[in-house]
Amino acid sequence: MSVHATAIVDASAQIGKNVSIGAHTVIGPGVKIGDGCKIWPNVVIEYTSLGSNCEVFPNVCLGLTPQHLRYKGEPTRLEIGANGVFREGVTIHRGTPFDESVTRIGDNAYFMCYSHVGHDCRVGSNVTMANGVLLAGHVQVGDNVFISGVAAVHQFARVGKGAIISGGAMATNDVPPFCIAQGDRAVLRGLNVIGMRRLGMDKTAIRQVKDAYKAVFLSGARLEAALQSPELTVDAPAVKIFREFLASSKRGFTRPAAGASASEAEEEVAS
Phi and psi torsions of 32, nearest 5°: -130, 120
pLDDT of residue 271: 39
Per DSSP, the residues of 91-103 read EEE---TTTTSEE
120 counts as catalytic = yes
CA 24 – CA 216 distance, rounded (Å): 53
CA 191 – CA 248 distance, rounded (Å): 20
Residue ranges, comma separated, of all CATH 2.160.10.10 domains in the chain are 2-138
Q: Which of 120, 124, 138, 211 is catalytic?
A: 120
For domain 194-266, which CATH number applies: 1.10.3720.10, 3.40.50.300, 1.20.1180.10, 3.50.50.60? Answer: 1.20.1180.10
Residue ranges, comma separated, of all CATH 1.20.1180.10 domains in the chain are 194-266
Question: What is the residue-level pLDDT of the chain in tens, covering all 271 positions?
Answer: 899 999 999 999 999 999 999 999 999 999 999 999 999 999 999 999 999 999 999 999 999 999 999 999 999 999 999 999 999 999 999 999 999 999 999 999 999 999 999 999 999 999 999 999 999 999 999 999 999 999 999 999 999 999 999 999 999 999 999 999 999 999 999 999 999 999 999 999 999 999 999 999 999 999 999 999 999 999 999 999 999 999 999 999 999 988 776 666 665 544 3
* Contacts for 42-46: CB closer than 8 Å, 24+ residues apart: 46/94
pLDDT of residue 9: 98
Q: What is the mean pLDDT of the chain?
A: 96
CA 133 – CA 139 distance, rounded (Å): 13
What are the tens digits of pLDDT across the range 63-83?
999 999 999 999 999 999 999
| Angle formed at CA 180 by CA 178 and CA 182, multiple of 5 degrees | 160
- Whole-number Cα distances in Å, 69 to 17, 66, 73, 96, 172: 38, 9, 11, 11, 22
Q: Which of 30, 118, 137, 162 is catalytic?
A: 137
Percent of the chain predicted with pLDDT > 70: 96
Q: Which of 93, 119, 138, 154 is catalytic?
A: 119
Query: 2-138: CATH homologous superfamily?
Result: Hexapeptide repeat proteins (2.160.10.10)
Instruction: Kindly report the number of other CB atoms within 10 A of residue 128's CB atom.
Output: 19
Question: Which residues are within 8 A (CB) of 269 and not within 5 positions of it... i.e. 6 or more apart?
Answer: 164, 180, 189, 190, 192, 193, 194
